[in-house]
Amino acid sequence: MTQISAFADQLVAQRYRDPAPTPAPEWNPVLQVLHEHRSIRRYLADPVPDAILRLLVSAAQSAPTSSNLQAWSVIAVRDPERKARLATLAGDQDHIRQAPVLLVWTADLARLRALAAERGAPLDGADYLESSYVAFLDAALAAQNAATAAESLGLGTVYIGAIRNNPEQVAAELSLPPGVFAVVGLVVGTPDPSEDARVKPRLPQAAVLHEETYDTTGLGAHLAEYESRIAAFYAEQNLEHSWIDRVLTRLGSAAALKGRDRLRDQLAAQGFPLR
């Protein structure tokens, strides 16, 4: 038990690179898989068997969904040519080409709209901004369950937000009807052991966890601490990065959004009027 507990403490400490971490009071294989998450950006070509894919999707469908609307769908892309075209559309990320499968998680109001049309019932609520968030959140919870399931099976994953860089072309490639929008991609495959992917440290917990009310006490110190902890993480990979510079660049301008500054119009064109 002491040994397990020491291991747990080490895994939690690794997430923060905190020299004085809080001990983990309990531990189990689920906490371990969650804490050991790292994004994988180099894959072997080994296929993901159908039966495993179905298990990832049953895990995804086990996630909570707002009012049981289940306002999401997932497209499993394994055809190498389609996957390569999607890679090009999504920031030209080569790991999408390498890995055997790209799961495209979509917000899906089309299924519910079809039901309403069949019954001649109104579905005015679906036109609101709120319903787009509901569908995006549903898709995210499902995707995260699939990612956790995949990692529990020794598979690697990485999310692809850049699937939103070119929504019209992605919708055409995947034959998405109006009311279906590609929210995020998830690459799944066998990690290439040559990558040495590491657990990326996160902000000190005190910067994100607030007790009772939102509180910015000490925020400056937490951010400075993080800037130095993550610099050490990058240095291990012979990179000289500043987290602060990176986030300020990432959100610095409309151009830095790489096409996603047009998202409102693109969603409207895809059947999400966002009233």
**Interaction with its own copies in 157-196: which residues (CB under 8 A)?**
158-159, 161, 164, 173-177, 180, 183-184
User: Shortest Cβ distance from residue 218 to its own copies (Å)?
Assistant: 12
Site string for its own copies, 73-92 (x = CB under 8 A): xxxxxxx--x----------
Question: Token pair for residue 245?
Answer: 């510079």
At closest approach, how far in Å is the CB of 173 from its own copies? 8
Tell which positions 93-112 bind its own copies, by CB under 8 A.
106, 108, 111-112
Determine which residue in the list 129, 221, 232, 235 makes contact with its own copies, applying CB under 8 A: 129
- Toward its own copies, which CB reaches closer, 37 or 44? 37
Return the amino acid letter for 180: V
215: alpha, beta or left? (left if phi > 0; alpha if psi -120 to 50):
beta
Tokens 């059947």 -> residue: 271
Question: Smallest distance from the beta carbon of 55 to its own copies, in angstroms?
Answer: 6
C-alpha dist (Å) from residue 47 to 1, 53, 75, 191, 200: 38, 10, 16, 12, 27
Write down the least CB distance from residue 44 to its own copies, Å: 18
CB closer to its own copies out of 92 and 215: 215
Assess 64 for contact with its own copies (CB under 8 A). yes
Closest approach of its own copies to the CB of residue 270, in Å: 12
Give yes or no for residue 197 binding its own copies (CB under 8 A): no
Which H or E run includes 60?
Answer: helix 50-61
Is 231 a residue that touches its own copies (CB under 8 A)? no
Query: 188: part of which helix (H) or strand (E)?
Result: strand 180-189
**C-beta of residue 105 within 8 angstroms of C-beta of residue 185:** yes
Does the footprint of its own copies cover residue 257 (CB under 8 A)? yes
Q: Does 145 bind its own copies (CB under 8 A)?
A: yes
Q: Is 240 in the site for its own copies (CB under 8 A)?
A: no
Under rule CB under 8 A, which residues in 3-32 are in contact with its own copies? Answer: 12, 15-16, 22-26, 28-31
Show contacts of 89-94: CB within 8 Å, 24+ apart: 89/163, 89/165, 89/166, 89/169, 89/170, 89/173, 90/160, 90/162, 90/163, 90/165, 90/166, 90/170, 90/185, 91/160, 91/162, 91/165, 91/258, 93/41, 93/160, 93/162
Choose, by CB under 8 A, the member of 40, 243, 270, 271 that binds its own copies: 243
Contact yes or no for 91/258 (Cβ under 8 A): yes
| Six token digits for residue 30 | 């689920």
Q: Which stretch binds its own copies (CB under 8 A): 40-48, 60-68, 92-100, 188-196?
A: 60-68
Q: Which residues does 120 contact at the CB level (< 8 Å), separation at least 6?
A: none
Pick between residue 71 and residue 98 the one whose CB is nearest to its own copies. Answer: 71
Indicate the residue among 44 and 116 with the shorter CB distance to its own copies: 116
